[in-house]
A and B are shown apart, each in its own frame.
Chain A
């Protein structure tokens, strides 16, 4: 404890005053004649014990009161030494600026400055207060720690410039990694010779205990305390991995009543059944005043596609409808009305529409006699579809044509009883699938099962062996397994269908993105749907772009009565409609993540041109991956949310564009409690200061700052003295203010006195 006016402690001598006064008072009391001493002596005997107690208590109270007043006048205080800069040491400070997109929250309304602006202003203010020998470094914190200065420097102008040029990112936050990095940077001023090329120091390389420079080291972290950003630091106890931490001051720029509305997710309904674009929008709301409705607007190629549609209170999802745009690649977005955090008010997606739908039919067993052709019944059924408005264009190909024709990037390819495909034809089919096309495969007696299983990578499951009896001694009925599938939605009944022979398959080899739509009565799959065309490294084709439908029986009447059944025509109708639907959505990737393009090995050294939303273009060259045999290219500059247009061979399955969106976890403005943050620092000295209290902290002189960082006790001492004074008064009253009872004999006296007056 330190005293501002220690001389005032001499006032403690005044404690003796009550004792002296008490003694003097006794000796100097007036001596008066008194006739009725006998009563006084009797009364004194009774009050003697009480009197002694009272005297002692009152004396103590008075002495204590004087002592408290003397102490208060000396103005004692204590200081928080850990936060007061020692006068004889230079300062090393690492500024950690949270530049996640949630720091773009505008405190003063939609037109006010952002939290990041305020963080930069505070950092600059503190930087300006540093002395020549002080050093500073700068770390930006988003999902990664961006070290703008690899070590603390005395070049304050450089630091100032870097702070001014620092920009808000579109990323989330991970303050854990940023703090670990900043702790390491804070110790780097102790290194005399920096390691060449070591631009991103880590905790493991930090020179713990280095003594090259004796400095007062601090971390100044400017953040909005967003829970998602601190989760890793708190939950993973990252502070335990820091070898030599320094004190941390966290400047809290957030506020608990922040509100935000954002687009959490968009889903484009796949299909063009009603010539309408269906977009399902999921809206997120955080904060206390976001319970009301939200207007959402669909934008296509920079134009509004309809009026804003309100999302009613209490609902999160809504489906927007818009006229289907013209064929081609379209950049679309969903926008909610602007709020204080505009970064997440828009979510992007792209759609690709091909021209009129095409149907390519390949007959694996053609015949000059039409009725004997494998596709005789199929052609008959397809001819019934030509009267429809949206009827597809039918083109018939031979196996030779298949190997040399451009299959385009949409529509459906029907392979009927094809024995095998050579390499060129197979590549074209695969590319057709990667480009968003669909393939319907019907098997038959010519099928080379071994070739299919080995080379037809787009098959949804492995084939087994031919089953049934060609002599038709035994028949297998068909049973629909997925009656909610679009093909069977109209109540299509296959129960009258009888197959005498078909190709068996192994259900255990079913790919994860495939499913059985119908089975034979012996449980062998009859109709199986799969997909193909995603990343070549993904064996299950979870990001596939092409659709595959496999009928394990024949499409003609040689092996079944199916073509003669009433269900055949609607079945073909539904299959064609389903398979020629346009695949609308393109691939998407989270912001900051690389976009990988995979194509067949033949596309090695092919180039891809990627145009970012800001117009910057980058040309990629595919390289052959020796392990998978695919041609692979990777685009890493996904730093901006939006639609990235790609010009590449269809074999890469790009679809003309891909989208990058924000990680909406950052849009949840839920805050970590300051106490929780402090606990996460463990034994490390840390404090969380409100932004208002922290403003200009370093700009003040050391003395002024020390004055603010100390705890004054004189008000409490004065209050205690006052309370003791009240207690002393109460004590005196309790002991002395007992009411004297008037003498009964004075009643007559009073009556006499009244009469006399």
Chain B
């Protein structure tokens, strides 16, 4: 597949690359990597940092035998070392219909999906740059597209192309899709969930708990448009649900306060759930420059 250069340039603008040049993305928990890397591994191997001893068994490599202990105690012990492994990151990008909002972005603005795509691209770039494999799941009510975790730049280009070629169109069932992802991932890693989370909060919270049970680390980035955060309409307006298509006519000036209150409850629920699972929760407004958002996020994640 021919890689469209312009796609990469669009997602990874020079100013973004400059901003992310020295920003690592670290996991706050041990991750199971296949290669030696900068992330702590749950496995004890034969690296440079001593961890403990174990009794020698037949078949063990004699190079790891602790000769000094043998000389003193005449017992066979094998030296074990902390293993540093690479981070396996997975980007879970929401491509449900609500991510298409707003239909006509203001000048200098973008849809939630475009914004989320740039966040995903930035994070993928950071992982690839630090030699960590990164995979991609695009989901709405199910997994729409996926890419395995790899750490090459060509893989990065493939992922970006896949993101670019996917359009938010279908209904969303984030809870179901996230559960499916959780079942597929066999090894612990860092999950980067980028979505507006416009679904039943109970099911999404369940999915987050599922990820936590499987030992994943996660960063939840909830992308909302500025107008969603601050209800902009002051006159009577008929609103159509972008996923169900149902219509509601409301008096904007009258309903704004109640809307904001309900939204606050909604956001608070996710924030609280993420805190309970020790996940990072980031609320992203499309009015916020995504490079600044990523810089701030990565700065917080520095060890």
Contacts and interface: CB of A to CB of B under 8 A. Distances in A.
Interface of A: 25-26, 29-44, 46-47, 50-51, 54, 732, 735-746, 748-749, 751-753, 755-756
Contacts of B255: 40, 43-44, 47, 51
A36 B263 contact: yes
B287 A34 contact: no
A743 B229 contact: yes
B101 A46 contact: no
Given A33-B240, A36-B224, A753-B292, 8 more contacts: A33-B102, A742-B264, A743-B283, A745-B271, A745-B283, A752-B293, A753-B288, A756-B293
A743 B239 contact: no
A13 to B, nearest CB: 24
> What is the interface of chain B mostly: helix, strand, loop, or mixed?
mixed
A749 to B, nearest CB: 5
> What is the interface of chain A mostly: helix, strand, loop, or mixed?
helix
A755 B292 contact: yes
B249 A26 contact: yes
A50 B247 CA distance: 21
A753 to B, nearest CB: 5
Given A40-B248, A51-B251, A746 B283 contact: yes
B295 to A, nearest CB: 8
B257 interface: yes
A586 B16 CA distance: 129
Q: Would you list the 5 A-B pairs with minimal beta carbon distance, nearest first?
A: A756-B292, A43-B258, A35-B98, A34-B239, A740-B260
B32 to A, nearest CB: 30
A25 B238 CA distance: 11
Interface residues of B, number: 63
A37 B196 CA distance: 13
B266 interface: yes
B289 interface: yes
Contact of A40 (B259, B271, B296): B259
Contacts of B267: 743-746
B266 A39 contact: yes
B101 A34 contact: yes
B1 interface: no
Contacts, number: 158
Interface in B218-234: 222, 224-225, 228-231, 233
B95 to A, nearest CB: 13
A44 B250 CA distance: 7
A742 B259 CA distance: 11
A69 B262 CA distance: 42
A30 B104 CA distance: 15
Nearest to A739: B257
B238 A30 contact: yes
A40 B263 CA distance: 9
A755 B256 CA distance: 28
Contacts of B244: 37
A33 B228 CA distance: 12
B103 A35 contact: no
B239 A33 contact: yes
A745 B292 contact: no
Nearest to B200: A38
A752 B101 contact: no
Contact of A740 (B233, B257, B295): B257
Interface string B254-286: 111111111110111011000000000111110
A741 B261 contact: yes
A40 B261 CA distance: 10
Given A26-B236, A29-B238, A744 B258 contact: no
B241 interface: yes
B279 to A, nearest CB: 14
Contacts of A42: 258, 262
Contact of A741 (B253, B264, B281, B289): B264
Contacts of A748: 282-283
Contacts of A735: 254
Contacts of B242: 33-35
B194 interface: no
Contacts of B98: 35-36
Contact of B238 (A32, A38, A743, A745): A32
Contact of A35 (B101, B246, B264): B101
A40 B250 contact: yes
Contact of A34 (B224, B235, B240, B260): B240
A47 B230 CA distance: 18
B238 A736 contact: no
A25 B236 contact: yes
A31 B241 CA distance: 10
Contacts of A44: 248, 250, 255, 258
A47 B262 CA distance: 12
B198 interface: yes
A31 B238 contact: yes
Given A740-B257, A749-B285, A29 B248 contact: no
Contact of A43 (B249, B262, B281, B289): B262
Contacts of A742: 260, 264
A39 B262 contact: yes
B237 interface: yes
A752 B292 contact: yes
A35 B271 contact: no
A48 to B, nearest CB: 10
Contacts of A54: 254
Contacts of A30: 237-238
